[in-house]
Amino acid sequence: MAGVKVMINDRALRRAIRSAHRASIAMRPAWLEVTEILMNSIRKNFDDQGRPKKWEPLKAPRRRGGTQVLIDTTRLMNSMQPVAMNSYAEVGTNVEYAATHHFGRGPIPARPFLLVQDEDLDDINHAIETHLLGDLI
């Protein structure tokens, strides 16, 4: 009986899996990059006055005479703080009126500014893949 013997050297694959596993335990560098993407996206939400849907305009002029929504003093926009740990990334604010403007309340319409845009997802995925797979991609 004739036969074929196939030998597969999986050494490189095993090395790549170990490397990806080590990278998955120390994700903070990837999450730092993700928070940078999120910070830029949130800033663009303010600059564009809402994305993907424009925010409802002001009903009356403000005391300072500005016309941009949520940018009277820039306090809210400039209060965004990134946090990156080994297991997560987040961007948020501790400004007490942030939730009112993001979700709306009473006569104040919702103007969501803490949104991840679809256009950011490729960059976020790339940052994570690059961290985990390094030279393999």
Q: What are the residues facing 92 on neighbouring strands?
A: 81
Tell whether the model's pLDDT for residue 102 goes beyond 90.
Answer: yes
Tell whether the model's pLDDT for residue 135 goes beyond 70: no
pLDDT at 84 > cutoff 80: yes
Q: For residue 65, what pLDDT is reported?
A: 59
Q: Where are the domains of the chain?
A: 28-119
| pTM for the full predicted model | 0.83
Tell me which amino acid residue 93 is.
T
In whole angstroms, give the CA distance from residue 68 to residue 62: 9
User: Distance from first CA to last CA of the chain, Å, rounded?
Assistant: 43
pLDDT of residue 59: 82
- The one-letter amino acid at 92: G
Return d(Cα 89, Cα 39) in angstroms, integer: 11
pLDDT in tens, 12-51: 889 888 988 888 899 999 999 999 999 999 999 999 999 9
CA distance 69 to 71: 6
78 phi/psi in degrees, rounded to 5: -85, 0
